[in-house]
Amino acid sequence: MSGVEREKTRVKATGEVFTPTPLVEEILDKMNQELFKEPTKTFLDPSCGDGQFLASVLYRKLENGIDFEIALSTIYGVDLMEDNVDLCRERLLYGREDLRHIVERNIICHDFLTYDNSWNGTNKNNDELAFDSLFD
């Protein structure tokens, strides 16, 4: 999916850039490969797009014998664009609808710089969460 095509007006408005697969692999190859062998090691992409980096991380964890559900539960991503979030979730699921609750919680549509990092399945920032709590 690294060849995602976007309209020029959208690219200009959002600044979206999708990392090509060879570059993703080159970057991940430079990381300590032991990280992909640890079942509970978490990975976060604060601008995940369609999940190019996260899918490659998941694949590497699976290659190292980590159970799919456990590996998937350690993958986190944030993106501003809802369609990118949807693509990323689908990509990470590999058809495993029984695990959708994991990607719904871990892959969210928000501005990473204002997200509260609660990973509780909401797309609310700290101010919105504080405001809502006044009425509970």
Q: What is the pLDDT along the chain (136 residues), one digit of tens a residue?
A: 444 556 777 767 777 778 889 999 999 999 999 999 999 999 999 999 999 999 999 999 999 999 999 999 999 999 988 999 999 999 999 999 999 999 999 999 888 888 777 766 555 544 544 444 444 4
pLDDT value, residue 71 = 97
Residue 105 domain flag: yes
pLDDT value, residue 6 = 64
Query: CB 54: neighbour CB atoms within 10 A?
Result: 25
pLDDT value, residue 122 = 57
pLDDT value, residue 110 = 87
Residue 9 domain flag: no
Residue 35 domain flag: no
Residue 3 domain flag: no
Q: Considering only CA atoms, which of 104, 70, 68 is closest in space to residue 89?
A: 104
Residue 129 domain flag: yes
User: Which residue, chain included where needed, has tokens 């976060």?
Assistant: 44
Task: Say how far apart CA 119 and CA 42 lie, in whole Å.
Answer: 13
Lookup: tokens for 47: 């601008």
Instruction: Give the total number of structural domains in the chain.
Output: 1
State which residues form the domain around 128.
18-29+41-133
Residue 89 domain flag: yes
Task: Give the distance, in angstroms, between the CA of residue 9 and the centroid of all CA atoms in the same chain.
Answer: 24
Lookup: tokens for 5: 């095509």
Residue 117 domain flag: yes
Task: Say how far apart CA 104 and CA 120 lie, in whole Å.
Answer: 9
